[in-house]
Structure 1
């Protein structure tokens, strides 16, 4: 990643969420009105162009055209939101979003009305997010931005300085990040999460299992690696992620993937390999 430039991966994620919000997905229950408002130029222009073009198509035809590319984001997001709601119902009053990017949860989930949200990300990405989020209504109790350069700063120190309370049960979301990290970075972050977590805290960590890169996926991989210099280096098996999470002192509760989410949220059975290999693991601090 370019240290002076906001993450382009985070922009791509918001772009796909915006398309899903427009209905260009097979996931019927998805909504994220914040995504379009967070898009920078030229992504905002591209999004507007796609919206105009798809209005000329039959809705079902438009969905079929975009669904294979888009569905991974609304399915992943819906499942994490459901796990977040359960954690809050169980008493978690702090939410830490690791690698938050252009996340809109503090602005769109009414269930966070009693929750303090900490968004953690690289300073360049977070500075851009703060500008783009101006004008969005805040529905969380409080939102605190925590810029962290993981090459030179420790997560625990920066969170405490920002007002994080280690004695309070916390839900942690680590979405769309692990595939860009080394094993050492994964272990260090999990150790920090566990060390900062009061009993009953929950972690939802998104990861992707190894698999052959198909011809349809190669252009996207080239874009991430060659164009924006954000290579996806960290696919991991279920056994590997379980071992890493449990080594850090957390108890794995469940693990589910794209096929499970599609069935749960009324979407077509996925055929795209990346979606089939994408998983969310939920763990708890004993």
Structure 2
């Protein structure tokens, strides 16, 4: 990771979202700011890969993940949640195009202070306005957890909140993952989170294991090694233990198939071969 910039994996995800807008017309997930915020990074080799014609499956998978998360935010707003936190926001643009401002949804972006400062410069250079509903919460996770940084930014821990936490969990220790989930679980009923994670390589079929191990080698070489993995069974059990009452755990492949309507028959098979999954979980207001 370059100092003061999003990680290589965050840049890759942003590039895939942007390329999906241009090459597939945003048919799974629409983000009119994705290409603009990417800006000068279009010459980056990581970005170039995202725009290759053969990268459609990866683009559809990342687009489906983003769509799933924002659908979950919309569901949270429907049940009365008015605070949304994007953890490890990177180049995510949800806070700048918040479609729930009329409902009073406030968005907090949590990221490393230097990364956030870089992003704010990028937003200004791209002519992307920062709406009053968006608040930046700089947090150095080596020195403090999200609670302190969010509190300083005006987050109200006495009200429910929904968290979007994509592309982050695999790079954290198990202790850090459960500390954050515990923090979310301690918020008022109605609070929840969408996050993705990877299964252990040993639990995957040989073909999926090979792809996962190749991916692990790539991110490790980039200085962002995988630090945690979970089986769906142990994660669901842990979430129930934290008193999350509604849990949906879905594989990347099934998620992509959901939003493509089965039109891309081989998308589900190929995009799930890393054993990656997404979880949407929240605590019911009914005690």
TM-score (norm: length of structure 1): 0.83
CA distance in 1, matches of 2:40, 2:219: 18
The one of 229, 233, 237 equivalent to 2:227 is: 233
CA distance in 2, matches of 1:191, 1:49: 38
CA distance in 2, matches of 1:181, 1:48: 24
**Corresponding residue number in structure 2 for 1:33:** 32
Report the CA distance between 1:49 and its aligned residue: 6.7
Report the CA distance between 1:68 and its aligned residue: 2.4
CA distance in 2, matches of 1:224, 1:243: 29
Q: How many residues align?
A: 272
SS of the equivalent of 1:133 reads helix
Q: Residue 49 of structure 2 contacts residue 55 of structure 2 at CA under 8 Å; is this kept in 1?
A: no
**Corresponding residue number in structure 2 for 1:57:** none
Report the CA distance between 1:118 and its aligned residue: 0.5
Change (3 A) 1:128 1:99: same
SS of the equivalent of 2:162 reads strand
TM-score (norm: length of structure 2): 0.83
**Corresponding residue number in structure 1 for 2:243:** 249
CA RMSD of aligned residues (A): 2.8
Q: Residue 42 of structure 2 contacts residue 48 of structure 2 at CA under 8 Å; is this kept in 1?
A: no
SS of the equivalent of 1:95 reads strand
Q: Does 1:188 align with 2:187?
A: no
Gaps of 5+ in 1: 55-61
Change (3 A) 1:50 1:234: closer
Q: Residue 258 of structure 1 contacts residue 278 of structure 1 at CA under 8 Å; is this kept in 2?
A: yes
**Corresponding residue number in structure 2 for 1:131:** 121
The one-character-per-residue Cα deviations of 1:180-209 (angstroms, maximum 9, x if unpaired) are 1111111111122222x2221222222222
Q: Does 1:223 align with 2:214?
A: no
Report the CA distance between 1:283 and its aligned residue: 2.3
Change (3 A) 1:43 1:274: farther
CA distance in 1, matches of 2:7, 2:38: 12
Report the CA distance between 1:39 and its aligned residue: 2.1
